[in-house]
Amino acid sequence: MNNKTIVILQVFSVTLIWGLVLSITALCIHLIHVAYRVHDVPDATVAISIIAILIFWVLGSILTYVFVGLHKQRG
Amino acid sequence: MNSQNYKTDEDEVLFRPIYHTGRGFYLIAAVLLLIMLVAGTLYVSQLIYGLGVTGMGEPVTWGFYIIDFIFFIGISHAGTLISAILRLSKAEWRRPITRMAEVITAIVLAIGGLHPIIDLGRPDRILHLVTSGRLQSPLLWDVFSITAYFTASTVYLYLPLIPDIALLRDRGDKHHKLYEFLSWGYNGSPEHKKVLERAINILMVMVIPIAISVHTIISWIFAMTLQPGWHSTIFGPYFVVGAIFSGIAALLIIMIIFRKAYHFENYLRDVHFDYLSTLLLIMSLLWFYFTFAEYLTGFYGHEPQEMRVFFYKIDGRFAPLFWLMVVCNFVIPVILLGFKKLRKIPGILIASFSVILGMWLERLIIVIPSLANPRLSYVRTGVYFPSITEVMLLLFGLAALGFGFMMFSKLFPLISIWEIKEGREESVHNVSQRLKGYFPAPQAMHSMEVEGHHEQ
Amino acid sequence: MARYGMVIDLDRCTGCGACVTACKAENNVAIVSEDDAKMGRTMFWMKMLVGYEGEYPNIKMKFIPRLCFECDKPPCIKVCPVRATYKNEDGLVAQIYPQCIGCRYCMAACPYTVKVFNWYRYVPEKPMSNCINPDVSVRPKGVVEKCTFCIHRLQKAKELAQAEHRKMREGDYVPACMQVCPAKAFYFGDLDNPQNRVTEAMRDVRGFTLLEDLGTDPKVHYLHAK
Ligand code: SF4
Ligand code: SF4
């Protein structure tokens, strides 16, 4: 395992959190869609989804910020 | 890199557990693994035969699993919340504590999060939550809030760990590649420090509302129904207070055990236990206040259905447990922590264990009596007695907590080394500066009219 | 779209329990072992609640046949995380067995403790295995079930009416409990139709519902002279 693999793995770990963030977002959108289709309190669904999506995006951003910050300075 | 150079590191004790493993460690790990194995087998039998292997029935349809769920998630508030609050308030004594607190959170959350799945009658259909989940059900709120909390607290554990991983990487002894990967290229330069610090600052502000929301939402699972004893507006804050309460107790227990096992006496000093146990004492009083308020309003209103649950708790079948809870959560901690003489390590340990027991009982007393006394008064009062499977799965949770903690201690330092070093180097100066800022400087008295408050 | 409801005249009910038995047979409701029964795992969709009124020696027994009240505003539906319980177009609170994940939240939320849970897989034993109703599925283990107002009978009645090119008539669709009641204590039908006997019975002054103040709007009413 040389340095390159390690960097690739590190990039992969960041992608992982974005995978989570995006899948949560997709899940919320899917659930909103279903809620509209079956007329099952869509407004509450939308409100709750917005909060959930927001939180996960912020979390993902913070981690990416650290990753980019630590890698930029290394050159 | 030659590790020999580092043997003179002044914080060598903190690295030691990673490189040296004693006999006792293997022994305890084996016992814990055995417990987990037995419990795992029992769980498989539950998968095969159905939830019938538990002691649940009707009307008591939720038992140990849900109680343990609330309990473990409650303990998880030790970490992130406490360490975030202490960091935010710049409490310098937090430095050797935060790491352990955060580790508890991450591990216990993973364990607690499993419990609702264990409790499902059809765990094989768990994906229905994805394909056709209903966001208006409090259970779905829980799925989201726990996922968010778990992500946030692992990130919050990981970020302050990066400098320590970099230290380990530079020693180059063991798991070199792993540390290289995990350190994300951190090199301790001021820019790197700044990036990390900023991220930690944002996170700790964020993590507090998330943590509070998690236990509030768990309480809402109950409060959103119409059942007597559950349908109460105070439940959110009540659960959060209880969660922090049990969290601090768990933290104290773990601190005391690992201090002894890994010889951290120099780092976890009396002052840390003193402060933390004062916090525990405050939470105990707060818990009593909430409990009292909750039960008094119920009692004074004297609604017949509420009363059925109320009397079931305080002088019916659950009376011994109820009063044991009050003793464990209030009487013992107040006596042991209220007097300076008793507030020593043994006293704190006993108080913490009693709080852990008491808080578990509190969850039990919230869940079972309300279910056992349904609103419809013609329905007979239910009985519930846990089966061996349920008891073993509770032990599984506790064993997994211990085991997870031990594994962590073999990979990463349990006390944040860089924060200790930083504290040693900078905080004396910083704190004295800060302290000066609290009070008017002597010369400010004279120049008050001229320069206003711009004095530093 | 109908809105089916029921009225039970408690002054007529003798507490014979025919409805309880009929329901068990009609809906293949599991029969549990003695040990399980002691743990409160008996399965009844229709259950006879017994209440006592007055002081000894002037005690009066009160029988209340209790089924699912098919609430118009059901608290059990609100909490289900996967839409396994829902209100269908006939106003019935239906349960989708293949969808339920067995979290038992709906059981905790129902103020009438109506729902029952399949703690084990039900394998009908000898005499019973010969009289399984083919119209009703035997539920798998780990799901929640409850009274459906014999929804399969509604299905059949609808199909028959369609085949005969006519509208549904009163009495086309009747749940099993009502069919067997020797005291004729039940009224059942579409509540939106003011001519039905059930709507008439609902206007009776003796009428009441259980836990009225919760606002669940049960569609099963009782009649009882005070
Ligand atoms: S009686 Fe209970 S199960 Fe039936 S609809 Fe009402 S709340 Fe739901
Ligand atoms: S037990 Fe089944 S029907 Fe009831 S709330 Fe859970 S998933 Fe829904």
| Core vs surface per residue B336-351: b (16+ CB within 10 A) or e | bbeeeeebebebbbeb
In the three-class reduction of DSSP (H, G, I as helix; E, B as strand; rest coil), residue B364 is classed as helix
**Residue A4 belongs to some domain of the structure:** no
Asked if B86 and B99 count as a contact pair (C-beta separation under 8 A), the reply is no
Q: State the distance from the centre of ligand 1 to the C-alpha of C74, rounded, in angstroms.
A: 6
CA–CA distance, C149 with C146 (Å, rounded to integer)? 9
The answer to whether A73 contacts chain B (CB < 8 Å) is yes
B191–A34 CB contact, under 8 Å? no
- pLDDT tens-place string over residues B316-361: 889 999 999 999 999 999 999 988 888 888 999 999 999 999 999 9
Distance from CA of B392 to the nearest CA of C (A): 19
Task: Reply yes or no on whether the pLDDT at B449 is more than 80.
Answer: no
If we measure between CA atoms, which residue out of B18, B453, B76, B385 comes closest to residue B240?
B76
Q: Provide, as residue numbers in chain C, all residues whose Cβ is less than 8 Å from the Cβ of B137.
A: 78-81, 105
pLDDT recorded at residue C75: 93
**C52 pairs with which residues across the strands?**
C61
Nearest residue on chain B to C82, judged by CA atoms? B133
pLDDT recorded at residue B23: 86
> Mean pLDDT, to the nearest integer, of C88-114?
92
Helices B345-372, B270-301: inter-axial angle, 10-degree rounding: 20
pLDDT recorded at residue B456: 43
Task: Reply yes or no on whether the pLDDT at A24 is more than 50.
Answer: yes
Pick B57's closest partner by Cβ from C40, C83, C99: C40
Q: How far is CA A54 from CA A47, A48, B59, B212, in A?
A: 11, 10, 39, 17
Query: In which residue are the tokens 């004729």 written?
Result: C184
> Mean pLDDT, to the nearest integer, of A17-31?
92
Q: Provide, as residue numbers in chain C, all residues whose Cβ is less than 8 Å from the Cβ of B135.
A: none
Range of the domain at A27: 13-74
A55–B148 CB contact, under 8 Å? yes
Task: Reply yes or no on whether the pLDDT at B439 is more than 90.
Answer: no
> Mean pLDDT, to the nearest integer, of C123-130?
84
pTM of the model: 0.91
**Residue A69 belongs to some domain of the structure:** yes
Q: State the distance from the centre of ligand 1 to the C-alpha of B302, rounded, in angstroms.
A: 26
Task: Reply yes or no on whether the pLDDT at B198 is more than 90.
Answer: no
| Torsion sign, CA atoms B195, B200, B203, B209 | negative
Q: Which of B166-175, C118-127, C201-210 has the lowest mean pLDDT?
A: B166-175
Q: Is the CB of C102 under 6 A from ligand 2?
A: yes
The answer to whether B139 contacts chain C (CB < 8 Å) is yes
Total domains, chain A: 1
The answer to whether C113 contacts chain B (CB < 8 Å) is yes
Asked if B443 and B455 count as a contact pair (C-beta separation under 8 A), the reply is yes
Closest atom of ligand 2 relative to the B137 alpha carbon: 5
Q: How sure is the predictor about B11, in pLDDT bands with cuts at 50, 70 and 90?
A: confident
Q: For the CA atoms of chain B, what is the radius of gyration?
A: 24
Q: Is the CB of C43 under 6 A from ligand 1?
A: no
Distance from CA of B329 to the nearest CA of C (A): 28
Nearest residue on chain B to C62, judged by CA atoms? B378
Residue from C42, C63, C79, C95 to probe the interface with B (highest B Cβ count within 10 Å): C79
Which residue's C-alpha comes closest to atom 4 of ligand 1? C68
**Residue A2 belongs to some domain of the structure:** no
Count H helices and E strands in chain A, helices first.
2, 0
Q: Provide, as residue numbers in chain A, all residues whose Cβ is less than 8 Å from the Cβ of B152.
A: 55, 59
A66–B206 CB contact, under 8 Å? no
Which runs of consecutive H residues, i.e. helices, occur in B183-303? 190-223, 235-262, 270-301
Q: Provide, as residue numbers in chain A, all residues whose Cβ is less than 8 Å from the Cβ of B196.
A: 66, 69-70
The bridge status of strand C4-9 relative to strand C186-190 is antiparallel
Task: Reply yes or no on whether the pLDDT at B446 is more than 60.
Answer: no
Q: Provide, as residue numbers in chain B, all residues whose Cβ is less than 8 Å from the Cβ of A24.
A: 144, 147
Amino acid, res. B157: L
CA–CA distance, B352 with C136 (Å, rounded to integer)? 55
Task: Reply yes or no on whether the pLDDT at B58 is more than 60.
Answer: yes
pLDDT recorded at residue B241: 92
**Average model confidence (pLDDT) across chain C:** 91
Task: Reply yes or no on whether the pLDDT at B442 is more than 80.
Answer: no
Task: Reply yes or no on whether the pLDDT at B196 is more than 70.
Answer: yes
Pick A62's closest partner by Cβ from B147, B187, B203: B203
pLDDT recorded at residue A1: 52
Which residue's C-alpha comes closest to atom 2 of ligand 2? C100
Task: Reply yes or no on whether the pLDDT at B382 is more than 70.
Answer: yes
Task: Reply yes or no on whether the pLDDT at B443 is more than 70.
Answer: no
> Mean pLDDT, to the nearest integer, of B159-182?
82
Which residue's C-alpha comes closest to atom 5 of ligand 2? C80
Q: Is the CB of C110 under 6 A from ligand 1?
A: yes
Amino acid, res. A49: S
Q: State the distance from the centre of ligand 2 to the C-alpha of C85, rounded, in angstroms.
A: 7
Chains touching chain A through at least 3 C-beta pairs below 8 angstroms are B
Which runs of consecutive H residues, i.e. helices, occur in B50-97? 64-75, 79-88
pLDDT recorded at residue B4: 46
Q: How sure is the predictor about A21, in pLDDT bands with cuts at 50, 70 and 90?
A: very high
Q: Provide, as residue numbers in chain B, all residues whose Cβ is less than 8 Å from the Cβ of C213.
A: none
B379–C142 CB contact, under 8 Å? no
- pLDDT tens-place string over residues B100-112: 889 999 999 999 9
C210–B129 CB contact, under 8 Å? no
CA–CA distance, A21 with A56 (Å, rounded to integer)? 6
Domains of chain B: 26-415 (1.20.1630.10), 417-456 (no CATH)
Between C177 and B171, where is the model more confident? Answer: C177
% of chain B surpassing 70 pLDDT? 95
**Residue A3 belongs to some domain of the structure:** no
**Residue A34 belongs to some domain of the structure:** yes
- Cis bond before residue B59 (omega within 30° of 0): yes
pLDDT recorded at residue A75: 46
Q: State the distance from the centre of ligand 1 to the C-alpha of B254, rounded, in angstroms.
A: 46
State which of C49, C67, C70 you would mutate to test the pocket of ligand 1, scoring each by most atoms of that ligand within 8 A of its C-beta.
Answer: C70
> Mean pLDDT, to the nearest integer, of B404-411?
89
Class of domain C4-223 as given by CATH: alpha beta
Q: Is the CB of C116 under 6 A from ligand 1?
A: no
Closest atom of ligand 2 relative to the C117 alpha carbon: 1
CA–CA distance, B248 with B101 (Å, rounded to integer)? 9
Read off the tokens for C30: 């599991």
pLDDT recorded at residue A74: 56
A59–B206 CB contact, under 8 Å? yes
B177–A35 CB contact, under 8 Å? no
CA–CA distance, B312 with B310 (Å, rounded to integer)? 5
pLDDT recorded at residue B139: 92
Task: Reply yes or no on whether the pLDDT at C163 is more than 90.
Answer: yes
- pLDDT tens-place string over residues C55-75: 888 888 889 999 999 999 999
Task: Reply yes or no on whether the pLDDT at C139 is more than 50.
Answer: yes
Q: State the distance from the centre of ligand 1 to the C-alpha of C112, rounded, in angstroms.
A: 7
**Average model confidence (pLDDT) across chain B:** 87
pLDDT recorded at residue B88: 86
- pLDDT tens-place string over residues C11-31: 999 999 999 999 999 999 999
Task: Reply yes or no on whether the pLDDT at B1 is more than 70.
Answer: no
CA–CA distance, B456 with B343 (Å, rounded to integer)? 40
The answer to whether B116 contacts chain C (CB < 8 Å) is yes
- Phi, psi at C66, each rounded to 5°: -115, 120
